[in-house]
DNA sequence: CTGGGGAGGGGGCCC
DNA sequence: TGGGCCCCCTCCCCA
């Protein structure tokens, strides 16, 4: 049931001045509006949130979800992508719940797990009170409802799931969730009746069903294959709303998500690369935003995951400040609906990233979409998303660290390099000045490159590289030499080429003194970016003695031809299980 | 014929 | 997103 004021609040003023308008009411207005919204949902029109349930994706409108469920409200405020524990709600049941939210009608329930009991359990888990009431009513009518303290438990698995999932909400709020079948005015305790009774105190489960790190995805190929039906043999419906393609990577993502509360990876499942671990989310998020993969958010989420796991081990109040349980009560109250027209309140609804922010609606004004890390408010979720792209949690971590550390060089063990390049790759230890570059770099670790050439299919890690490559297919050479008319695909090539005409040879060999117009024709270029190879002439031997291991050196080349194999050109060549070996000195004499 | 130098071009990667 | 730089492969010319 979606509730909004049929009449504007009195403080708007005009209602009092126009009493005749109050008397006019269109009885079918709400139904028509719901009908329109449901139609829009079916088409994916203006949908701003995706709900992932096991192997199914549902698109919906945040406002509708928020108006229907306190729990969903708490999730959609921060996230555009919700992951529901499939042990709590199956795709088929969630479809029924979503249909109910949008239509007020409960479709036919199959017997067994898809039955009314499962719907009730799901509605209770999702905190959709109207549906809970409806299910109870139906069950009582059929004589199947047994009002135990533990509530309806259609099957044991669900009951276990309830125990697992209840604290999910408790992680979001300092107090446990208000079970939806609790009577209004009943004191809200952490023992949550239908939901919370089984949750032992002191245990802190993963938050909010968003932990994606517990299980390795399937093979890389399956991660990126768009499929209309993620599990062809799976008859559960629905998978996608009409008119929408499955996002690439969804299969793996779902396989990943569905295990959020399962056992940790078993021996033999392998350790998934961090970049791989969140790729599915990456694609999903981008898919929802109609963008290419690689955005900040999902990577930020991935970065948060270890932290979330850590937080799950500790009492929630350390990270999630106390939000009084009566805020939940207030959440359902009509005062909010009538007292504000700005949309969802962030109070108590910030989800698992409540962080340090306390809910102070007065201070937020119209900017009710709050960036959790920095506390800035925005009037719309789109603006919030745009803002979130601009910084990462790491950025804030370093900011906080620098604020606490004081002196420049005494920052909690941070080296100068860490300060200059605070964004470190978790896979290879490379560091970067800004998060965008780090994200760009991390793509180089992905098994699958996200930017394929539409002509030849070759894939690239960067979009720019792909578009540059496309120029070669299309014969686009926009950079022309004024002197000879020769054309190039890149500006840099033209710059290089122009040195031929000018006779400029700025690159000098440190060994023989020969000069070159192009740096690439130097055998061992000396420069600030050539790392260990840029040793002075007199140090070469020492350097090579340190870096070379005996035993498996190739025979000295007979010459230093330009086309000699790479391993003879003084290039680092990593060997499995051993140190990097650099061959520098062969032939130097 | 061979090797060295010059140069075109593509991809990777960082800014 | 584009620029810049690096690495690499390759081809051509010439001694």
Q: Which residue is nearest to nucleotide B2 (CA to C1')?
A: A561
Any strand B atom closer than 7 Å to A499 CB:
yes
Q: For strand B, which residues in window 376-435 of chain A come within 7 Å by CB? A: 421, 430, 432-433
pLDDT at A396 exceeding the cut of 80: no
pTM over 0.75: no
Question: What local confidence, expressed as pLDDT, does residue A169 receive?
Answer: 25
A 545-574: CB within 7 Å of strand C: 562-563, 565-566, 569, 571
**Strand B contacts in A 502-561 (CB under 7 A):** 514, 516-518, 520-521, 558-561
Minimum-distance nucleotide, CA of A478 to C1': C2
DSSP SS3 for A588: coil
Q: Is the CB of A415 under 7 A from strand C?
A: no
Cβ contact A62:A381 at 8 Å:
yes
What the block records as the tokens of A230 is 């993620």
Nucleotides of B under 7 A from a protein CB: 3-15
- A290 CB closer than 7 A to any strand C atom: no
Binned at pLDDT 50, 70 and 90, residue A91 comes out as confident
Distance A565 CA to C14 C1' (A): 23
Express as a percent the part of chain A with pLDDT over 70: 35
Q: What is the mean pLDDT of residues A49-75?
A: 81
Look at residue A437 and tell me whether its pLDDT is greater than 60. Answer: yes
Residue A315 makes CB contacts below 8 A (sequence gap 6+) with A202, A204
The CATH architecture assigned to A19-142 reads 2-Layer Sandwich (3.30)
Domain boundaries, chain A: 19-142
Nearest residue (CA) to C1' of B13:
A441
Rounded CA gap, A179 and A308, in Å? Answer: 25
Cα A485 from Cα A196, distance rounded (Å): 77
What average pLDDT does this structure show over A156-163?
32
**CA A528 – C1' C11 distance (Å)?**
31
Please, what is the average pLDDT of chain A?
52
State whether the beta carbon of A580 lies below 7 angstroms from any atom of strand C: no
Nearest protein residue to nucleotide B15, judged by CA and C1' positions: A437
Nearest residue to A165 via CA among A128, A122, A217: A122
Please say whether the dihedral angle defined by the alpha carbons of residues A512, A515, A520 and A521, taken in this order, is positive or negative: negative
Between A356 and A46, the more confident residue is: A46
The Cα A283–Cα A286 span in angstroms is: 5
Shortest-distance nucleotide from A486 CA to C1':
B8
Q: Within 157-176 of chain A, which residues have Cβ less than 7 Å from strand C?
A: none
Residue A506's pLDDT band, with cuts at 50, 70 and 90, is: confident
Q: Tell which phi-psi region holds residue A421, choosing left (phi > 0), alpha (psi between -120 and 50) or beta.
A: beta
**pLDDT tier for residue A491 given thresholds of 50, 70 and 90:** confident
- Determine the pLDDT at residue A78: 67
Residue A497 (CA) to nucleotide B5 (C1'), in angstroms, measures: 15
User: Measured between alpha carbons, how far is A427 from A48 in angstroms, rounded to an integer?
Assistant: 33
Q: Which of A303, A320, A251 is nearest to A52 (CA)?
A: A251
- Return the closest nucleotide (C1') to the Cα of A563: C9
Give CA torsion, residues A160, A163, A166, A168, to 10 deg. Answer: -80
- Residue A463 CB in 7 A reach of strand C: yes
Contacts for A456 with CB less than 8 Å, ≥ 6 apart: A473
Nucleotide nearest to A431 (CA to C1'): B14
């Amino acid at each position: 049931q979606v509730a909004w004021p049929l009449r504007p609040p009195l403080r708007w003023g005009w209602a009092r001045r126009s009493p005749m308008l109050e008397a006019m009411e269109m009885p079918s207005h709400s139904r028509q509006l719901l009908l329109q919204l449901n139609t829009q949902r079916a088409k994916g029109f203006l949908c701003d949130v995706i709900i992932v349930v096991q192997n199914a994706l549902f698109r919906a409108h945040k406002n509708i979800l928020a108006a229907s469920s306190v729990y969903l409200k708490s999730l959609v405020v921060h996230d555009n992508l919700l992951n529901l524990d499939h042990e709590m709600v199956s795709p088929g049941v969630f479809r029924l719940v979503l249909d109910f939210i949008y239509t007020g009608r409960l479709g036919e329930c199959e017997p067994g797990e898809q039955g009314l009991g499962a719907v009730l359990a799901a509605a209770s888990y999702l905190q959709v009170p109207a549906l809970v009431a409806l299910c109870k009513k139906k069950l009582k009518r059929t004589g199947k409802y047994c009002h135990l303290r533990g509530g309806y438990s259609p099957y044991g698995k669900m009951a276990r799931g309830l125990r697992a999932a209840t604290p999910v909400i408790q992680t979001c709020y300092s107090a446990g969730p208000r079970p939806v079948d609790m009577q209004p005015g009943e004191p809200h305790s952490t023992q949550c009746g239908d939901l919370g009774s089984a949750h032992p105190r002191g245990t802190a489960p993963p938050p909010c069903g968003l932990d994606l790190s517990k299980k390795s995805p399937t093979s890389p190929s399956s991660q990126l294959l768009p499929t209309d039906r993620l599990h062809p043999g799976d008859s559960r419906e629905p998978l996608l709303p009409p008119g929408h393609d499955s996002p690439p990577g969804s299969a793996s993502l779902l396989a990943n998500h569905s295990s959020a509360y399962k056992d940790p990876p078993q021996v033999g499942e392998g350790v998934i690369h961090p970049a791989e671990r969140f790729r599915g989310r990456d694609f999903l998020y981008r898919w929802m935003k109609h963008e290419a993969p690689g955005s900040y958010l999902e990577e930020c989420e991935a970065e948060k995951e270890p932290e979330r796991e850590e937080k799950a081990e500790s009492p929630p109040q350390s990270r999630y400040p106390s939000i009084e349980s009566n805020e939940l009560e207030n959440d359902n109250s009509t005062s909010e609906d009538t007292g504000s027209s700005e949309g969802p309140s962030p109070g108590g609804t910030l989800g698992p990233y409540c962080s340090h922010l306390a809910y102070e609606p007065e201070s937020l004004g119209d900017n009710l979409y709050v960036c959790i890390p920095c506390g800035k408010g925005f009037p719309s979720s789109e603006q919030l998303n745009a803002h979130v792209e601009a910084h990462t949690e790491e950025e804030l971590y370093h900011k906080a660290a620098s604020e606490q550390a004081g002196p420049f060089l005494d920052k909690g063990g941070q080296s100068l390099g860490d300060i200059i390049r605070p964004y470190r790759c978790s896979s290879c230890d490379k560091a970067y000045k800004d998060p965008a570059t780090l994200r760009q770099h991390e793509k180089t670790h992905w098994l699958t490159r996200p930017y394929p050439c539409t002509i030849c299919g070759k894939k690239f890690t960067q979009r720019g590289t792909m578009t540059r490559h496309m120029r070669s297919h299309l014969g686009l050479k926009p950079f022309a030499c004024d002197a000879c008319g020769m054309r190039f695909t890149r500006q840099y090539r033209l710059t290089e080429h122009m040195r031929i005409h000018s006779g400029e040879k700025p690159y000098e060999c440190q060994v023989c003194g020969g000069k070159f117009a192009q740096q690439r024709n130097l055998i061992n270029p000396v420069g600030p970016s050539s790392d260990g190879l840029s040793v002075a002439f007199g140090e070469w031997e020492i350097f090579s003695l340190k870096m070379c291991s005996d035993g498996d050196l190739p025979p000295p080349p007979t010459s230093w031809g330009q086309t000699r194999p790479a391993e003879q050109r003084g290039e680092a060549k990593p060997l499995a299980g051993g140190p990097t070996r650099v061959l520098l000195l062969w032939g130097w004499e």
